[in-house]
Copies of this chain bind each other. A is one copy, B any other.
Amino acid sequence: MASGTFDILHMGHVHYLKEAKKLGDHLTVVVASDNTVRKLKHQPINPQHIRVQLISELKAVDTALLGSDADDIYTILDDIKPDIIALGYDQIHQEETLTKELDKRGYPNIKIIRLSEYQAGNDLDGTRRIIQKIIAAHDFQKKMEQIEGH
């Protein structure tokens, strides 16, 4: 099982999902609901059903489904019954806390595996960097219009 927002798809996402797929034979991806994204990060650019659809079109992904709006991440485990939870290199979950909670809630056998970062040199891979590049191009264009006229 892997999880995330997957708003503007980039190679960091794909790397995470490919690495997660290598850990087992069926990869289920939980895509965070719009409510969850708004609560944790920001207003998503793409709505949840589009984010689920796009993820389900990737070769590495066997099943993509929408996460619950519930506050905790444990409610979905009964449906998925994963053997392994794959964490992205920068996902905020603490392995230790997660292991303890899984144990407490009756999932002592779920393994948690933290995956490596996508090594792309200076490539533009993160959503935030893509957004920054779009905004920088926009600001530059505005300045040029002020200098050159419309």
Contact = CB atoms under 8 A, between A and B. Distances in A.
Interface string A38-72: 00000101110010011001111000000000000
Nearest to A123: B50
Contacts of A124: 45-47, 50
A131 interface: yes
Contact of A59 (B50, B58, B137): B58
A50 B11 contact: yes
A137 B47 contact: no
Interface in A80-116: none
Interface string A106-143: 00000000000000100111000011011101100000
Given A45-B124, A46-B124, A47-B123, A54 B133 contact: no
Contact of A138 (B46, B47, B133, B138): B138
Contacts of A138: 135, 138
Given A134-B135, A135-B134, A138-B135, A11 B54 contact: yes
A14 B57 contact: yes
A19 B38 CA distance: 33
20 contacts: A8-B8, A8-B130, A9-B9, A10-B46, A10-B54, A14-B53, A14-B54, A14-B57, A45-B134, A45-B137, A46-B124, A46-B130, A47-B123, A47-B124, A50-B123, A57-B60, A58-B58, A58-B59, A131-B134, A135-B135
